Amino acid sequence: MNKPDLLRLILTQLTDELETLTRGARASYAAATDPDSKAENKYDTRTLEASYVARGQAQRVAEVQEAMRHFQVLLGRAAEAHEEVAIGSVLRLTDGMAEDCYFMGPAAGGTEVQFEGREVLVITPTSPLGQKLMGKKVGATVTLQPGRPALRLVSVA
């Protein structure tokens, strides 16, 4: 798997998300500051609600920008090989029936991309799966929930 290409694809996905979030943040800011949206009575909370939305979207924009900075740093180090799971690892897990592909990212957990015919899910070291996988080597198994099949680490790159 070509890791630099995967990282560029993730960055493209984050760029698209950032553009969408930025448009939404601008629109909600405009709604919150529009003089025509002043409260008509003490029960009218449109302006207050719009300001909460604007603040939340602005925070999300900042989070995506920070994630993009982290992935750009990783892109510069994409050639590094990993023998154990670390940030920047591409890994495959199997439950014996299906095999899933993950990228251990510094941020943007939950981001999904289609790469080389596979779905690749970004996980982070702070996620439940990421916590269990960090530092593991090929052949290691992890169990996420009691009573569910263990996942075996098939490859780390």
Domain range annotation of the chain: 3-76, 90-156
In tens digits, what is the pLDDT along the chain, a chain of 157 residues? Answer: 799 999 999 999 999 999 999 999 899 888 888 887 777 887 878 888 888 998 999 999 999 999 999 999 999 887 777 789 999 999 999 999 999 999 999 999 999 999 999 999 999 999 999 999 999 999 999 998 888 889 999 999 8
pTM of this prediction exceeds 0.85: yes
SS3 call for 16? helix
Identify the three-state secondary structure at position 26. Answer: helix
Measured in residues, the chain has a length of 157
The SS3 of residue 145 is: coil
Strand order, beta sheet including 112-115: 112-115, 118-123, 99-104, 90-94, 151-156, 141-142
Query: Which CATH topology does 90-156 take?
Result: Chitinase A; domain 3 (3.10.50)
